[in-house]
Chain A
């Protein structure tokens, strides 16, 4: 009798946990519709393992480089671990986590986020929290994720001990039940791939006409915290024998001040790193700002991203010695599929716009 009641208790507990898990899956945003950016981080795991190059950074990487083009032109296997408004500490922990899945030859980091020294230095709390979720929710449970959470939380999140809600997102999305849509049920178990190896394709065109302006700053020195994480990146890559390449994507806004550029040039020199400011080589890349951007110069569209990939792939081959894998049949087979998906997507998006 006693045995039986314990058995019932355990079975009930198991059922409850399963139901909670299901509920959590249902309530989490799926990011399949208008805010696809939130799905990017989670897509990495399906494509991890054999990439020679990993890009890490904010929208200036996931909107500007097309890994498929680099494969087609140079046989480079690459993937982007980008997310909206990714902070430098988040980039660091993503890098750390990446090494658990693969050891690429080259890590490429976009340095724009050096300008944000602390979680407080950008956006208001609600917005920052939403960005945090988009970068962190997609990560699998790991030390890196936990540390990234602790480094990223806003004041409000700290106040209610929001770190636990990254372990159990149900605690964060508990009140989303009143906002569920068909999308939440449709993608409950299986999500679509929204990106091509981390690249989020845009086919629209909105020409760049007027210069985006920002007022001058009082102090152009990057913050201590930013440098702290950049130092950690250098060390991390060194310990894995991976070459760290710093880039500044050719986006025209937010403004990339000369004073900032100078600091990066000096930093790269001091640590013997390759630093490429792609803003300076726009003409060589061949970007036509009347056609190659979808939001008036902030990000490139697919036509710009292909041009940039073609240009940057050459640098990876020439300066970093990244290998051509087109001769490898197994790799080629995998990538052939990716290429097909890419063109199907491009065709579909072009038809829509």
Chain B
């Protein structure tokens, strides 16, 4: 009995340490943000050149559809190996997060009135137009309309009574 138990315990330990030889990165190493479900079809989006650009969308597919950006930069975060990438086009900017070996849309915002939201709001519109599209509930009482869906949010910022910025992002929990 004694020997049996000792044997089992040793076996368990041995299995444990046998696994030590697998060289894997520690958990604090190269962890990527776990911000959502890549490819979520219900995420916020806007349409450009007939392509839907969607939060959590696959950036590779978007690049294929709408072409290379005017400007491209990479941003590291302290200590982590993952790269956040920023793609600047004429009228909008897309930022991605890495997951696995792919990049997914984390955030996008508009730069001019050549693009508009699915509800038809664009930069330069009046507050009344935004209110018509998103309702008074979305108004924060000061300078912005904010809507939320699942873990996504859209923000329309007003300056001097007209829309100055429209941005969509994944909200991190």
Contact B72 A177 (CB under 8 A): no
Binary interface encoding of chain B residues 56-77 relative to chain A, with 1 for a CB under 8 A from any of its CBs, else 0: 0000000000000001111111
Query: A162 near B: Cβ within 8 Å?
Result: no
Chain B residue numbers with a CB within 8 Å of A321 are: none
**How many A-B contacts at CB < 8 Å in the complex?**
105
Chain A residue numbers with a CB within 8 Å of B26 are: 29, 35, 176, 179
Chain A residue numbers with a CB within 8 Å of B88 are: 210, 213
Contact B31 A298 (CB under 8 A): no
Query: Which 6 pairs between the two chains have the least Cβ-Cβ distance?
Result: A84-B78, A84-B79, A37-B79, A59-B78, A215-B109, A130-B28
Q: How far is the CA of A179 from the CA of B16 in the complex (A)?
A: 10
Binary interface encoding of chain A residues 167-180 relative to chain B, with 1 for a CB under 8 A from any of its CBs, else 0: 00000000011111
Chain B residue numbers with a CB within 8 Å of A176 are: 26-27
The B-contacting residues of A in range 147-168, CB under 8 angstroms, are 155
Chain A contact patch, size range = 35 or more
Chain A residue numbers with a CB within 8 Å of B72 are: 210
Q: How far is the CA of A84 from the CA of B80 in the complex (A)?
A: 9
Query: A85 near B: Cβ within 8 Å?
Result: yes
Taking Cβ atoms with an 8 Å cutoff, the residues of A that contact B are 29, 31, 34-35, 37-38, 58-59, 84-85, 120, 122-127, 130-131, 133-134, 155, 176-181, 209-213, 215-216, 218-219, 253, 295-296, 298
* B interface size (C-beta, 8 A): 45
Q: Which residue of A lies closest to B71 (CB)?
A: A210
Chain B residue numbers with a CB within 8 Å of A29 are: 26, 28
B116 nearest CB across to chain A (Å): 16
Chain B residue numbers with a CB within 8 Å of A131 are: 78-79
Contact A34 B81 (CB under 8 A): yes
Q: How far is the CA of A145 from the CA of B74 in the complex (A)?
A: 34
Query: B17 near A: Cβ within 8 Å?
Result: yes
Contact A179 B25 (CB under 8 A): yes
Contact A179 B24 (CB under 8 A): yes
B21 nearest CB across to chain A (Å): 9
The one of A31, A59, A179 that contacts B22, using a Cβ cutoff of 8 Å: A179
| Known A31-B28, A125-B173, A215-B165; further 4 A-B contacts with Cβ < 8 A | A59-B79, A210-B71, A210-B73, A215-B93
